[in-house]
Structure 1
Amino acid sequence: MRTSADRLYEIDGLRLLAALCVVLFHYTFSGWAGGTSPVVFAEASAWSKYGYLGVDLFFLISGFVVLMSAWGRSPRSFLVSRAVRLYPAYWVGIAITAVVTVTLGQGLFEVSLPQVLANLTMFQSVPDIANVDVVYWTLWVEMRFYFVILLFTWIGMTRARLMAGLWGWLGLTFAVEAGLLPGAADLIVQSEFSHHFIAGMALFMVHRFGLTPQLALLVPVCLGNAVFRAIGYAGAVGERYGVSYSAAVVTAVVVAAFLVMTLVALRATRVLARPWLVTAGALTYPLYLLHAHIGFVVFDRVGAVVDKYVLLAALILVMLGAAYLVHRFVERPLAPRIKRLLSGRPAAPVLGVLVAGRPTG
């Protein structure tokens, strides 16, 4: 079991930073650009439109941390740890978002009881049922990544097997991109984001075992593909919202994310680690789950009568407060009970675990 001395507090801070980037993207750009908020932040959107790249950082962190969490676990133990970490806050997020949508968001968003029930499983994408909140799409990406990790726990994790698996996954990624595999293969390969997960896992290997020539090659190859796909994805986002993205800025952000996580893996960021960052990390997941549709509804209802920057700051603070309440009164008390129920044996106190997103989602 990892001790507090082993915890990478700086990753907790990075997770909250990634979440806040996504929050600002939604509140100051995609909301009004996508027609779900009447409050326009034209000047701020010049930089906040890049905030969606926080998801890229989420997935990179997820590759690192989920492998760290799964190392040495049995398949059942890994599944229990993921269920304990993901579902309590998610169910509360769905409930709150659905209630706000029904009571205050009519005409802006629609939600139905069958939709809510399907979303509770976190597998609503399988029957192609709409998400209750737009941000849930990243959870489906994460769930498929967990399937890959589950396979590793079933096979048995060793350095050699992990390296073979990572190179194999990257090879499948290139095969999908080249059209050598049927589109259905991408359900598991996830070529749009696989390089982030692969690189994150490789960086965990660097952190645990040290830098090797294979890892020194694998991470830059992933970075190259990440930049390539990020530029293409930025074009699609720009087309959706009617804006243009700078390839240089997108590249710089992706490179910066890889660089920071490489420094974490090399233990060069320990000087920045502070125990209080655990709280920052704990807020990330519930903040991500709660902020989007509820925030859009608030902007729609009171945006015309409150100064937009006052409203923006207040809304972010309220969302952070709500995230803390979910963590304190839902995640912390329910985690050991759910773990005990699923494990079939008494559970040790849950002190908190690092997860992705992940928005990681």
Structure 2
Amino acid sequence: MTNKFYRLDIDGLRAFAVLAVIINHANHNTLCSGFLGVDVFFVISGFVIMKSLLRQPMRSFISFLNGFYIRRFKRLFPALLIVIATTFFVLFYIDPNPYASINTGIFSLIGLSNIYLWRQSLDYFSADISFNAFMHTWSLGVEEQFYLIVPALMWLALQLHFMLSSEFMGNHDSGYDEWRCVC
């Protein structure tokens, strides 16, 4: 069964963004701006998340957020857990001092690896973070923090929209279909 909301063009943009980052990591001189692929990926994620939120039925704040977070968890956490477990295992065999990387991996499980890496980069005596096996998880940390803030703001914006629509237009059903059609 195909998803009626699937967008091939979005997957194409994702592919270009990922390819740009891979080329940049493989040889910085080949595509020195390849890190912009991460920015493109952030924009795509924001767009997809907003569309997903706008398709959700209006319900209580807790059920709105629970539904959103359960879907994100089911989609992201299994792959993250496999990557972290595999990397932990390999680190103990190839890295004489794997603990800084392991701490980053642990922080990535709760969506805070970007903050942990930032704090490590400020510590004069810490190991160079560019050699951290979980350096790539910083962008996932940013995305997870986006996921914590935006759904709540979206729900509040929709509630405000409905409240203002019903107050000024006298119609309790107005606005939701209009809001959903924006994207």
Q: Return the TM-score normalized by structure 1.
A: 0.35
Alpha-carbon distance between aligned partners in 2 of 1:159 and 1:60, rounded to the nearest angstrom: 25
Q: Which residue of 2 aligns with 1:209?
A: 182
Residue 108 of structure 2 contacts residue 137 of structure 2 at CA under 8 Å; is this kept in 1?
Answer: no
Alignment equivalent of 1:110, drawn from 98, 106, 110: 98
Alpha-carbon distance between aligned partners in 2 of 1:85 and 1:133, rounded to the nearest angstrom: 20
Deviations 1:30-72 (A, max 9, x none): xxxxxxxxxxxxxxx1x41111110111011011101112222
Alpha-carbon distance between aligned partners in 2 of 1:97 and 1:154, rounded to the nearest angstrom: 37
Query: What's the CA shift for 1:137?
Result: 0.9
Deviations 1:281-301 (A, max 9, x none): xxxxxxxxxxxxxxxxxxxxx
Residues matched between the structures, number: 147
Query: What's the CA shift for 1:86?
Result: 1.4
Cα distance change on mapping 1:154 and 1:4 into 2, 3 Å:
closer
Alignment equivalent of 2:46, drawn from 59, 63, 86: 63
Deviations 1:145-180 (A, max 9, x none): 11222213542637958xxxxxxxxxxxxxxxxxxx
Question: Percent identity over the alignment?
Answer: 29
Q: Which residue of 2 aligns with 1:82?
A: 72
Query: What's the CA shift for 1:117?
Result: 3.4
Cα distance change on mapping 1:111 and 1:20 into 2, 3 Å:
farther
Unaligned runs of 5+ in 1: 30-44, 162-204, 211-361
Give the RMSD, CA atoms, in angstroms. Answer: 3.2
Cα distance change on mapping 1:48 and 1:126 into 2, 3 Å:
closer
Cα distance change on mapping 1:6 and 1:133 into 2, 3 Å:
same
Alpha-carbon distance between aligned partners in 1 of 2:179 and 2:16, rounded to the nearest angstrom: 23
Q: Return the TM-score normalized by structure 2.
A: 0.65
User: What SS is found at the alignment partner of 1:49?
Assistant: coil
Query: What's the CA shift for 1:75?
Result: 1.0
Q: Which residue of 2 aligns with 1:138?
A: 139
Q: Which residue of 2 aligns with 1:10?
A: 9
Alignment equivalent of 1:122, drawn from 91, 104, 111: 111
Alignment equivalent of 1:48, drawn from 19, 25, 31: 31
Alpha-carbon distance between aligned partners in 1 of 2:160 and 2:8, rounded to the nearest angstrom: 25
Counterpart AA for 1:12: D
User: What SS is found at the alignment partner of 1:48?
Assistant: coil
Alpha-carbon distance between aligned partners in 1 of 2:100 and 2:45, rounded to the nearest angstrom: 31
Aligned positions of 1:1-361 closer than 5 A: 4-29=3-28, 45=29, 47-71=30-54, 72=56, 74-104=64-94, 106=95, 110-111=98-99, 115=103, 116-125=105-114, 128=119, 132-155=133-156, 157=158, 160=161, 208-209=181-182
Deviations 1:215-274 (A, max 9, x none): xxxxxxxxxxxxxxxxxxxxxxxxxxxxxxxxxxxxxxxxxxxxxxxxxxxxxxxxxxxx
Deviations 1:83-114 (A, max 9, x none): 1111111111112223333323x36x834686
Query: What's the CA shift for 1:121?
Result: 2.5
User: What SS is found at the alignment partner of 2:27?
Assistant: helix
Unaligned runs of 5+ in 2: 58-63, 121-128, 163-177
Counterpart AA for 2:14: R
Cα distance change on mapping 1:49 and 1:144 into 2, 3 Å:
same
Counterpart AA for 1:209: V
